[in-house]
């Protein structure tokens, strides 16, 4: 089950501001998978230029790996999960993940999420979200049919992962990590992230990411849409529009960008 909860009511529609921060805004804070360690992932998305890898090398970055994988996202025909800010994904070679909202409280344009990777926890959360009776034992694949969950997006990503430290960084400070993603439908997006253990460390992590983004030449106000949102916009425009309409009708505050 999600141990951290959003201040919104479970299952309530996303507001336009929330959706912008969730899948469009360049800043996000995510509570990453290992809850026992309490790791908080602070990240910024950006649009990488053609010479981004060369620039990372100039700044002392080290290429850790290059990988290719397929992500498949599932939801009901009414987009019940996405409209309540929950995102169910199966990644090739990594298994299932359900990203659900965490607790608000850090000021600024970012969100917190709990990323569930245990199938039993994911199943329990899905049945609670969709108000269905939970089975005694079942994996995620086994409950897709009963919950009327279907594939809404599937695409391949080629990723290069880099790590580096700012020259002025303390020896014990966490490394910056940069992922550069290129999809099979022609969209590329980058992400700078720092992992911290305490919420009090988040502002410093954000400042570190901001500083490094300036070194990369990323405009301060640049917003890079998430891969899933771009996929829906291009290939499932009706679903994309329904997602926007559901949010714009629920609250008038905030401007939704794409």
The answer to whether 251 is a known ligand-binding residue is: no
Q: Identify the three-state secondary structure at position 217.
A: coil
Contact 209, 175 (CB under 8 A): no
The pLDDT mean for the chain works out to 78
Paired residues of 71 in beta bridges: 91, 155
Question: pLDDT tens digit string along 125-183?
Answer: 999 999 998 777 789 999 999 999 999 999 999 999 999 876 555 556 668 999 999 99
How big is the chain by its Cα radius of gyration, in Å?
18
The answer to whether 208 is a known ligand-binding residue is: no
What pLDDT score does 200 carry? 85
What is the pTM assigned to this prediction? Answer: 0.76
Question: pLDDT tens digit string along 173-206?
Answer: 668 999 999 999 999 999 999 888 888 888 888 8
The answer to whether 163 is a known ligand-binding residue is: no
3-state secondary structure 220-255: CCCCCCCHHHHHHHHHCHHHHHHHHHHHHCCCCCCC
The answer to whether 198 is a known ligand-binding residue is: no
Paired residues of 178 in beta bridges: 162, 192
CATH class of domain segment(s) 16-237 = mainly beta
The answer to whether 236 is a known ligand-binding residue is: no
- Where are the chain's structural domains? 16-237
The answer to whether 83 is a known ligand-binding residue is: no
The answer to whether 242 is a known ligand-binding residue is: no
97/39: higher pLDDT: 97
Question: pLDDT tens digit string along 201-224?
Answer: 888 888 898 899 999 999 887 888
Contact 164, 178 (CB under 8 A): yes
What is the rounded distance in angstroms from the CA atom of residue 91 to the CA atom of residue 93?
Answer: 6
The answer to whether 128 is a known ligand-binding residue is: no
Residue 257 has pLDDT above 70, yes or no: no
Contact 77, 161 (CB under 8 A): no
The answer to whether 199 is a known ligand-binding residue is: no
Question: E strand or H helix at 58, and its extent?
Answer: helix 52-58
What pLDDT score does 247 carry? 67
Contact 153, 236 (CB under 8 A): yes
């Amino acid at each position: 089950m999600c141990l951290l909860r959003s201040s919104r009511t479970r299952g309530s529609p996303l507001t336009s501001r929330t959706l912008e921060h969730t899948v469009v805004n360049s800043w996000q804070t995510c509570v990453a998978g290992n809850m026992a360690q309490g790791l908080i992932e602070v990240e910024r998305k950006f649009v990488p230029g053609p010479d981004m890898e060369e620039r990372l090398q100039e700044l002392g970055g080290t290429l850790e790996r290059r990988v290719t994988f397929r992500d498949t996202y599932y939801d009901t025909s009414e987009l019940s999960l996405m409209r309540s800010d929950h995102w169910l994904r199966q990644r090739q070679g990594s298994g299932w993940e359900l990203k659900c909202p965490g607790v608000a409280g850090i000021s600024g344009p970012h969100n917190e999420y709990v990323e569930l990777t245990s199938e039993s926890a994911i199943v329990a959360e899905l049945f609670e979200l969709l108000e269905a009776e939970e089975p005694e034992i079942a994996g995620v694949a086994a409950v897709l049919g009963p919950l009327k969950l279907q594939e809404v997006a599937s695409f391949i990503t080629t990723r290069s992962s880099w790590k580096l430290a700012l020259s002025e960084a303390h020896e014990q400070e966490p490394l910056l990590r940069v992922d550069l993603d290129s999809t099979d439908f022609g969209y590329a997006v980058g992400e700078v992230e720092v992992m911290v253990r305490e919420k009090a460390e988040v502002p410093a992590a954000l400042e570190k990411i901001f500083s490094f983004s300036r070194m990369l030449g990323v405009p301060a106000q640049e917003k890079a849409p998430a891969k899933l949102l771009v996929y829906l916009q291009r290939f499932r425009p009706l679903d994309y529009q329904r997602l926007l309409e559901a949010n714009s009708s629920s609250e008038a505050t905030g401007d939704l960008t794409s």
